[in-house]
Structure 1
Amino acid sequence: MPDKDCLPAALYRADQVREMDRQAIEEYGIPGDTLMERAGQAAFDLLRRRWPRAKRILVLAGTGNNGGDGFVVARLALQAGLHVRVLQLGDRERIRGDARTNAMRYAALSGDWQPCGDDLPRDADLIVDAVLGTGLERRVEGRWARILGHVNAARIPVLSLDVPSGLHSDTGVILGTAVCADVTISFIALKQGMFTADGPDCCGDIHFHALDVPARVYARQLLSARRLDWSRQRELLRPRKRTAHKGDFGHVLAVAGDLGFGGAARLCAEAALRTGAGLVSLATRREHLPAILAGRPEIMAHAVEEVSALEPLLARAGVIAIGPGLGRHEWGMALWEKVMAQELPMVVDADALNLLSEAPGRREDWVLTPHPGEAARLLGCTTRDIHADRYGAARELQQRYGGVVVLKGAGSIIAGDAHQPPAVCSDGNPGMASGGMGDVVTGIIAAWLAQGWPAREAAQLGVCLHAAAADKAARAGERGLLASDLMSHIRRLANPGND
């Protein structure tokens, strides 16, 4: 797996990358053929590093520039003494420009270049996916879809060039059918869709090569999104002063846990403590107190059966975390209405988001943390609509409800005000798809707010810390990963200098 420190933070849309390519060629005098040669060489070098024993290379080539990159890889592999076969998707007579130049160079070496049939050979050690590039805007259907499906079914490692064929570069959505690569090498700039929705599944391990495009080309484009990971976020942390006391690190009040949901309340409160909040109070149902206090006595758990019991807790709190296990019945609704009347920063999750969707409001001092289902209710659409454009959904949520929005899922997106690009977290793993994970991240973000971080930064720190802790915990296996498994990792990672 590549070191994420080597990947740029800046992400772009496909049209921006095409403009960078044009500027490099027309304004800075770099021939398109040179850029294509650099891309193919970078891909071939990666191929040799990642699969040093691969001898039989199958290149699937389209008719555009992505196919041209594939022909460079095929030529270099042939010159290195490997057995190479190119299967052409689309009419080879439609290949133009630099792509045709490189196709002819490969053909001049008597390279094996045949039309792609309905089946793929099974004797390849590696498939190079050079079929469809970043310009894809319509669904892959018919014969092309069947071929891409055969790639996924072949159980042969796949290297995709620039983006996996069939993946939308901007949204990360599969357009009908897409290649699920083991490795993707992206050129000139990273595309924002590679890190969210279906992007992580399709791209596999992501590598990057800028093709030596001048820095001034990038300076003329505003990035469309930023990639976040814990390796960068942890650099923001500083050791605590030796004279610090608990009052320096804020007081979080978690309002959570209707009858039968005490676990959600404890997870949220404990995560806030493990992230460094000075004090954490918990307003929950009376029946949950014995188990919570026996398991984590540092949580100041209070029985709140009536709204009036919440008032003294609100008077002492600096930040509110509301929603985990709150329910949508009379108890939860009453507490939600009371909290909404306060002028305290808050993190809003789970059932509190569902209650918000029923009576929408807007604030600038909250962080909303919906998963796709909650986001769909907040926007009055379907989860399919959310998945179709996660960046767009996060922006619309922020514009409608204010504050900062964390749209959870594969590639969680953090959207603040419209003047800053959204951010996407590239850490995390499928083991996080289990109950209680959202309760934990709510507590983490609330703790960063309590420690004085502005809402956007607190959300970014929280999402990345949560994902990094889950990655540490998943070393023992993704299946069976529990939200409570993250706690010790949260504590370790939240302290500077710890990996």
Structure 2
Amino acid sequence: MLSRLGHNELITLAKKRCIPPLLSDFYKGQAGGRVCIIGGCEDYTGAPYFSANATALMGCDLTHVICEKSAATVIKSYTPNLMVHPYLRDKGEKSEMNKIKNLLQRIHAIVIGPGLGRDESMLQSIKEIIEFILIDKKGQVPIVIDADGLFLISQDKNVREILKKFPTGRIVLTPNVVEFKRISDAIAKDLKFDTNTLKNNEQMGHFISNELNCILVQKGKQDQIYSPGNDYILINKQQGSNKRVGGQGDTLTGTIGCMLSYSSLMNDYHVVPSETMEKLDDNKQNLTWIDLALLSCYVGTTITRECSRLAFKDKGRAMQTTDLNDRVGIAYHEIIENVKSVTK
């Protein structure tokens, strides 16, 4: 059904079905949800901040960051708006998993990977976290995986097997072209499959999505969104900018993470009464979780592209990651609240 909709129609449907309205009787956490960004180490503190800040500016009620101990004070110094937890450990030390698991009990969506690094202890903790969500939460908490989280997937066959066990569409991967190839090669090796038999990039995208039972957002000149069991691709052609900055992908994980939190509140927690839902969407489309997750990813890519466009328009070649990231709230308002003015 989504494949037949144009840009405006996709945004309008997402606004009606994915995003909780701001109702006066909601308490904290019901309208914006709770999102946790897991990443950040001694060398990389900007990435988890950009992801979390994008989530917060999208309207998330409570945004958490779980990071390595030495990164926490630095990330806290960027803003008082985020809750930063120094529970991860590197260099052979064991992370504070009990604290991590207790926090994740209250979370509606998770982002894994920004600034994570490739320390073996950190990666092992991430593997344990993913398995915890699968077993303890029955895989119902949506997870966005990016950056070194994708590296872990490409390197660890057991992690790939764990991802396959999640309910369909609860895992979202956001690879760039290099990460895309690395993951496809790893899956092909598992299956003893020759990827040369796949004729083009689209076939490769469907291959990854189906084999890992995940939604795949391939970043590029056009963002291509694949989903398991579907032969169509949602392609986002919205204008961005020709200037690429480090951290744009982190902004994307934050916008998608927040949208998945919204969708979970609507689909899993039913925070909006049925009579209110009927007023919000009189067409009463029968949408599955896959539909809502795809819409969430499409909105996330749209807002990130708009942030890039706005920042470049203002700053030109001097544009930095903060210029893009700080415009998430503005882009959200323009894209979602003024959906009728957005051109196809």
Taking structure 1 as the reference length, the TM-score comes to 0.51
CA distance, structure 2, for counterparts of residue 471 and residue 226 of structure 1: 26
Work out whether 1:423 is the aligned partner of 2:234. yes
Greater C-alpha Rg: 1
Contact 1:230-1:468 at 8 Å conserved across structures: no
Work out whether 1:458 is the aligned partner of 2:296. yes
Contact 1:367-1:405 at 8 Å conserved across structures: yes
Structure 2 matches for 1:85-484, cutoff 5 A? 229=7, 233=11, 236-237=14-15, 240-248=22-30, 249-304=32-87, 305=89, 306-308=95-97, 309-341=99-131, 342=133, 343=139, 344-358=141-155, 359=157, 360-361=160-161, 362=164, 363=166, 364=168, 365-380=170-185, 389-419=200-230, 421-431=232-242, 433-452=244-263, 454-484=292-322
Alignment partner of 2:128: what SS?
helix
Contact 1:469-1:489 at 8 Å conserved across structures: yes
In the other structure, the counterpart of 2:325 is 487
Alignment partner of 1:237: what SS?
helix
The residue type equivalent to 2:104 in the other structure is: L
Alignment partner of 1:452: what SS?
helix
The residue type equivalent to 1:349 in the other structure is: D
Contact 1:226-1:422 at 8 Å conserved across structures: no
Q: Do the aligned partners of residues 355 and 406 (structure 1) sit closer, same or farther apart at CA in structure 2, a change above 3 Å counting?
A: same
Higher relative contact order structure (alpha carbons within 8 Å, sequence separation ≥ 6): 2
CA distance, structure 2, for counterparts of residue 258 and residue 411 of structure 1: 31
CA distance, structure 1, for counterparts of residue 4 and residue 320 of structure 2: 29
Q: Do the aligned partners of residues 419 and 268 (structure 1) sit closer, same or farther apart at CA in structure 2, a change above 3 Å counting?
A: same
Structure 2 matches for 1:19-30, cutoff 5 A? none
In the other structure, the counterpart of 1:186 is none
Q: Do the aligned partners of residues 368 and 295 (structure 1) sit closer, same or farther apart at CA in structure 2, a change above 3 Å counting?
A: same
The residue type equivalent to 1:464 in the other structure is: T
Q: Do the aligned partners of residues 331 and 271 (structure 1) sit closer, same or farther apart at CA in structure 2, a change above 3 Å counting?
A: farther
CA distance, structure 2, for counterparts of residue 287 and residue 263 of structure 1: 13
Q: Deviations over 1:274-333 (max 9, x none)?
A: 111111110012222233223221110011131424222222222110011112212321
CA distance, structure 1, for counterparts of residue 151 and residue 215 of structure 2: 17
Higher helix share: 2
Contact 2:240-2:306 at 8 Å conserved across structures: no
Contact 2:14-2:296 at 8 Å conserved across structures: no
Q: Deviations over 1:427-486 (max 9, x none)?
A: 243445221111110111010111126321111111111111211112124423222212
Deviation at 1:228, TM superposition (A): 6.3
Q: Deviations over 1:84-142 (max 9, x none)?
A: xxxxxxxxxxxxxxxxxxxxxxxxxxxxxxxxxxxxxxxxxxxxxxxxxxxxxxxxxxx
Q: Equivalent pairs: percent with the same residue?
A: 23
Alignment partner of 1:325: what SS?
coil
In the other structure, the counterpart of 1:210 is none
Alignment partner of 2:337: what SS?
coil
Contact 2:243-2:317 at 8 Å conserved across structures: no
The residue type equivalent to 2:263 in the other structure is: G
Structure 2 spans left out of the alignment, 5+ residues: 90-94, 134-138, 189-194, 265-291
The residue type equivalent to 2:11 in the other structure is: Q
The residue type equivalent to 2:23 in the other structure is: K
Alignment partner of 1:246: what SS?
coil
Deviation at 1:229, TM superposition (A): 4.6
**Aligned structure 1 segments of 4 or more residues deviating by more than 4 angstroms:** 225-232
CA distance, structure 2, for counterparts of residue 474 and residue 404 of structure 1: 29
In the other structure, the counterpart of 2:337 is 497
The residue type equivalent to 1:337 in the other structure is: K
Structure 1 spans left out of the alignment, 5+ residues: 1-221
CA distance, structure 1, for counterparts of residue 303 and residue 127 of structure 2: 30
Q: Deviations over 1:337-378 (max 9, x none)?
A: 122211321001011111111222323211110111001010
Alignment partner of 2:29: what SS?
helix
Q: How many residue pairs align between the two structures? A: 275
CA distance, structure 2, for counterparts of residue 335 and residue 430 of structure 1: 36
Taking structure 2 as the reference length, the TM-score comes to 0.72
Q: Which is further off, 255-264 or 387-396?
A: 387-396
Q: Do the aligned partners of residues 242 and 483 (structure 1) sit closer, same or farther apart at CA in structure 2, a change above 3 Å counting?
A: farther
The residue type equivalent to 2:250 in the other structure is: D
CA distance, structure 2, for counterparts of residue 422 and residue 474 of structure 1: 28
Higher strand share: 1
Deviation at 1:253, TM superposition (A): 0.9
Contact 1:226-1:421 at 8 Å conserved across structures: no
Q: Do the aligned partners of residues 323 and 482 (structure 1) sit closer, same or farther apart at CA in structure 2, a change above 3 Å counting?
A: same
The residue type equivalent to 2:15 in the other structure is: L
CA distance, structure 2, for counterparts of residue 287 and residue 437 of structure 1: 24
CA distance, structure 2, for counterparts of residue 433 and residue 295 of structure 1: 23
